[in-house]
Amino acid sequence: MKITKICCIGAGYVGGPTMAVIAQKCPHIQVTVVDLNEQRIKDWNDPDTNNIPIYEPGLSEIVAEARGRNLFFSTEVEKAIDEAQVIFISVNTPTKTYGKGKGMAADLKYIELCARQIAKVAKQNKIVVEKSTLPVRTAEAIKSILDNTGNGVQFQILSNPEFLAEGTAVTDLLNPDRILIGGDTTPEGEVAINALVDVYANWVSKDKILTTNVWSSELSKLTANAFLAQRISSINAMSELCEKTGADVNEVARAIGMDSRIGPKFLKASVGFGGSCFQKDILNLVYIAKSYGLNEVADYWEQVIIMNDHQKKRFSNKIVQTLYNTVADKKITFLGWAFKKDTNDTRESAAIYVADDLINEQASIAVYDPKVSGNKIQSDLNYLETRSVEENKARVVTFDNAYEACKDAHAIAVLTEWDEFTTYDWQRIYDSMHKPAFLFDGRNILNAKELESIGFIYNGIGS
Ligand code: UDX
Ligand code: ADP
């Protein structure tokens, strides 16, 4: 089976970059990305590819090359489903905010809607690929909807989890550590698996393309994210101990990272991990374990989240305590709002929770982030429903220039590790601030010694 037409439902952080790279690497395949959100599609079609809705280094160039050639963005969901042989589902699966599994299970309403739409429209056999991170055994639910509401055509469901990290999506997609494809072990399942293997084989060597059964593939995605997040919570746990004992967590991380069994990556102590995946996936894992009565397994993984929440709280508490136990009406400047550098995504960003704590203490927050808009910052805070929209507006002001944002501040808190923060004229910033001038480096990216010699009272994580 040769694939020539692909459709992807969901033009978000996963669907957009993934399809752009597939289109770039497979000029013989027509790739159509559809979304219900008209504005999002309009933005993807902006004549200036610098204005596409997702910021990822290298992405606008790829879109410029492939768009209109074999890459299309559209709101015509049904037409795209009808024409495609392969349909990727890349819609969002946020944590449920209601009912059973509230705060823990993934909300599958968008997935179900997609499955029903595919079932309604499809008149030929289709391969349906789960791309969004889904709880184990979602493929089964999709299959049941497709088979029971469809027009009698055959569906093969594959799980092909995305391992790209935001901020490095393009390089991760171009040079993946591995591609994972799970499918049925039936002859039809194998045909579908091989068809998708052939798509990736256009730029990924075959030894990096793993095929498994569907459940293994679904569970591997959750497991990978749980292991990665666990490393961060482990080093963050040590950061608190370091602060108490006089050890330096950066030195500890370096020392353990040189053990080849441990390795150096993902050992950066921070104000806490954010992003759309880690928390959600671990909560999913916890929920699944609980639903099988595996309480110890559930508690084990839940501790990773508990540690992460603690780390965020600890950071805001430290700011309040260091500023003489009151931040009421003090200006505190946040450098960075995104959950990590090189992305405009703010989902689950530590900045949101730290800001929320400080606003509870009646601080005035100024924010500068090179890629995040003031509207986004306000909507992130409003989403928490801690206080009124007006109050958030009054307490949080956004700047498009870091020097302006820091003027007259009592303290600066670095929440995102944007490279540009390390290139600032820190003397100039210090001179414009209230004294004593405090700096809380939630990412350990700045040079503590240099800042202290200027006069800052510097606080990193874990030192
Ligand atoms: C993650 C996985 O890495 C990716 O494989 C998966 O497909 C989706 O989830 P992402 O959330 O985009 O990707 O970013 P990642 O680089 O993993 O960072 C997650 C969070 O952990 C960020 O807030 C980051 O700042 C933080 N982090 C990361 C640390 O605090 N310390 C580290 O050492 C590494
Ligand atoms: P992710 O990080 O998983 O890519 P995003 O929220 O960035 O998540 O993207 C998911 C996209 O899926 C959104 O743009 C949303 O509008 C879209 N979407 C959700 N449900 C549907 C649907 N039934 N049909 C088409 N698009 C959908």
Question: CB within 8 A of 376, min separation 6: which ones?
Answer: 337, 344, 346
DSSP string, 255-311: HHHTSTTT-STT----S---SSSHHHHHHHHHHHHHHTT-HHHHHHHHHHHHHHHHH
Task: Determine the pLDDT at residue 187.
Answer: 97
Instruction: Report which ligand 1 atom has the smallest distance to the Cα of 341.
Output: 25
Q: How far apart are CA 278 and CA 286, in angstroms?
A: 12
Q: How far apart are CA 278 and CA 232, in angstroms?
A: 11
User: Which two three-digit tokens encode residue 262?
Assistant: 């441990």
> What is the number of the ligand closest to the CA of 13?
2
Q: Is 11 in the pocket of ligand 2 (CB under 6 A)?
A: yes
Instruction: Report which ligand 1 atom has the smallest distance to the Cα of 275.
Output: 11
Task: Determine the pLDDT at residue 93.
Answer: 85
Instruction: Report the relative pairing of strands 179-182 and 438-441 from DSSP bridges.
Output: unpaired
- The model's pTM is 0.95
User: Which two three-digit tokens encode residue 42?
Assistant: 């309009």
Note the pLDDT tens digit of each residue in 151-191: 889 999 999 999 999 999 999 999 999 999 999 999 999 99
Ligand 2, atom 25, lies closest to the CA of: 35
Task: Determine the pLDDT at residue 210.
Answer: 98
Q: How far apart are CA 328 and CA 229, in angstroms?
A: 34
Instruction: Report which ligand 1 atom has the smallest distance to the Cα of 164.
Output: 7
User: Which two three-digit tokens encode residue 73?
Assistant: 């963005």
- Mutational test site, ligand 1, from 276, 277, 353, max ligand atoms within 8 Å of CB: 277
Ligand 1 center–CA 164 separation, angstroms: 10
Ligand 2, atom 6, lies closest to the CA of: 92
Ligand 1 center–CA 444 separation, angstroms: 16
- If phi over 0 gives left and psi between -120 and 50 gives alpha, with beta otherwise, what is residue 437? beta
Task: Determine the pLDDT at residue 105.
Answer: 82
User: Which two three-digit tokens encode residue 437?
Assistant: 């001038």
Strands (E), 298-430: 331-335, 364-368, 396-399, 411-414
Q: Is 424 in the pocket of ligand 1 (CB under 6 A)?
A: no
Q: Which residues of the chain are under the pLDDT cut of 50?
A: none
> What is the number of the ligand closest to the CA of 161?
1
Q: Is 277 a catalytic residue?
A: yes
